[in-house]
């Protein structure tokens, strides 16, 4: 593993060439440091902290200030992985507000921000990128839309919805997004989108055909209680340490053995 910091350009260059991108969430300096030692490519300070750290039923109550706090923590623990931060619910109603909140995350240590959806969000992506804020887009199951979706459900199984997702992915890439998270969509659709867009796709519950994978850190370590989503694997089981578990996750992403067909959706 190189000690050089992972850059956006370096991840883009791996599309089609490999190795696949291994990403996970982290919210504190200690886990960030362990993940860095294991060789993780990308750390996300996600608004999933509302659920796995704060115990809320969804991500909607998380604030920009809370994301800023956790970005600072993670940035102190790891310097090699690309550090990405979520813009939480309600923090990007328009381009100028989005830029102000994104700037706060960049000042805290993030190298890239992530925001959910397309439509009017596409113009916000273009606005941010024009002002030197790199963007990771997010389609499929977008947790900030949980009430509209009626729960955490697999998305784009119908042809009309799949066609819209394909069009949205192309539009977001054209607007300047550098990465695209695909969450809880059929594996065949994710594979097709990954082949069609020029930027790396990072899947979570989107099958093995993406250019990389991401899991919530607590999920891949078997910490999260309750019903486990199909796409989650406990990598700590059978391994003697957190670092070796994360290293096993990275190896499984890179060799294509994670996710398996049983951990994907049709």
Q: Is 95 helix (H, G, I), strand (E, B) or coil?
A: helix
Q: Is 233 helix (H, G, I), strand (E, B) or coil?
A: coil
Tell me the pairing of strands 201-204 and 212-215. parallel
Please state, in angstroms and rounded to a whole number, the distance separating the CA atoms of residues 6 and 172.
23
Q: Is 189 helix (H, G, I), strand (E, B) or coil?
A: helix
Smallest Cα–Cα separation from 258: which of 198, 214, 226? Answer: 214
Do residues 196 and 184 make contact, with C-beta atoms less than 8 angstroms apart?
Answer: no
Write out the DSSP string of 96-158. Answer: HHHHHHHHHHHHHT-SEEEEE-STHHHHHHHHHHHTT--EEEEEES-GGGHHHHTSS-----S
Do residues 193 and 182 make contact, with C-beta atoms less than 8 angstroms apart?
Answer: yes
- Point out the catalytic residue in the list 158, 183, 243, 263: 183
Please state, in angstroms and rounded to a whole number, the distance separating the CA atoms of residues 221 and 39.
16
For this structure, is 126 an active site residue?
Answer: no
E strand or H helix at 23: strand 21-25
**Active-site residue numbers?**
183
């Amino acid at each position: 593993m190189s000690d050089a910091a992972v850059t956006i350009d370096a991840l883009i260059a791996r599309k089609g060439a490999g190795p696949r991108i291994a990403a996970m969430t982290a919210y504190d300096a200690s886990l960030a440091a362990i993940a860095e030692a294991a060789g993780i490519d990308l750390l996300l300070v996600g608004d999933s902290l509302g659920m796995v750290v704060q115990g809320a039923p969804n991500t909607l109550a998380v604030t920009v200030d809370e994301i800023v706090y956790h970005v600072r923590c993670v940035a102190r623990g790891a310097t090699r992985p690309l550090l990405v931060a979520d813009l939480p619910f309600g923090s990007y109603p328009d381009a100028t507000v989005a830029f102000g909140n994104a700037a706060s995350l960049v000042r805290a240590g993030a190298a890239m921000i992530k925001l959910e959806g397309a439509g009017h969000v596409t113009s916000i992506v273009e606005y941010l990128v024009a002002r030197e804020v790199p963007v990771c887009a997010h389609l499929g199951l977008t947790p900030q839309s949980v009430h509209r979706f009626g729960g955490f459900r697999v998305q784009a199984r119908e042809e009309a919805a799949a066609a819209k997702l394909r069009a949205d992915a192309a539009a977001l890439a054209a607007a300047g997004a550098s990465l695209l998270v695909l969450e809880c969509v059929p594996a065949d659709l994710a594979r097709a989108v990954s082949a069609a867009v020029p930027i790396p796709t990072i899947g979570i519950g989107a099958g093995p055909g993406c250019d990389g994978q991401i899991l919530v850190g607590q999920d891949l370590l078997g910490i999260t209680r309750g019903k486990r989503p199909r796409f989650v694997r406990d990598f700590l089981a059978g391994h003697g340490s957190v670092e070796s578990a994360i290293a096993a996750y990275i190896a499984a992403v890179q060799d294509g053995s994670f996710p398996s067909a049983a951990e994907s959706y049709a």
